Amino acid sequence: MLATWGVVLLQAWASGRLHLLLQPDFHGLVLAAGLLLLLLALAGLRWPSGAGRRRPGSAVAVLLGTAALMLALPPRPSLSTLAANRGAADPGGDGLTFLLPPEQRTLTDWVRLLRQQPDPQLWQGEPVRVSGFVLTQPDEAPSLARMMVRCCLADATPISLPVRWPATAPLPPADRWLAVDGVMGVERHRGGDRSIVLARQVRPIPEPARPLEP
């Protein structure tokens, strides 16, 4: 039983699933815990306790069932479902992102920048090259988003950039990962001006190996 859970943790670590579940700081901890569980299982074989007490059946069933499911069914969260449930994150950051050339700013950098310097006139016309997943919203056009994670998926919160999609193509479906090339523009929104990405080229990309932003 210990060995099974050791394998579950190690498999999550080795298969890269952890990138979808946890912030990288915690990955070493999961690896260590997996190894320790395997060691404990081996030690239990080497030095069996004579007692041979039975384990409670319900706990065994819950643990074995969960372990089997976790090995068989990798996590496939719908990030936009997750995001729809949660308010926007404050990306924090040091405020030095304006030093980066505009084409090199990631989606996170842009969101930080717009939060620190919300005046849309400042950024009008700057080139934008970002990638993220499509986040659909009830009353607006879909935006391009990333998930910020401090610890695990349970605390993931979305950050997003509004996008004016090219009129020639249909609106992209939720959760699709896209790379967007365009320029920053200004649009009227709820009585004020806001920055919006005017997309020129939109290209589907595979889901990145590390879909979560630390």
Binding site residues, another protein, CB under 8 A: 1-2, 5, 9, 12, 17-18, 20-22, 26, 29-30, 32-33, 36-37, 40, 43-44, 47-51, 53, 55-56, 58-60, 62-63, 66, 70, 73, 75-78, 81-82, 84-87, 89-90, 92, 148, 150-155, 157
Burial 99-123 (b: 16+ CB within 10 A, else e): eeebeebbbbbbbbbbeeeeebeeb
* Residue 171 beta carbon to another protein: minimum distance, rounded to whole angstroms: 18
Task: Name the residue nearer to another protein (CB basis): 14 or 100.
Answer: 14
Is-contact 132 177, C-beta < 8 A? yes
Please state, as a whole number, how many other Cβ atoms lie within 10 Å of the Cβ of residue 17: 14
CA atoms within 13 A on the CB side of 194: 13
Task: Name the residue nearer to another protein (CB basis): 44 or 204.
Answer: 44
* Residue 205 beta carbon to another protein: minimum distance, rounded to whole angstroms: 20
Hey, is 16 helix, strand or coil?
Answer: coil
Task: Name the residue nearer to another protein (CB basis): 99 or 154.
Answer: 154
* Residue 63 beta carbon to another protein: minimum distance, rounded to whole angstroms: 5
Hey, is 130 helix, strand or coil?
Answer: strand
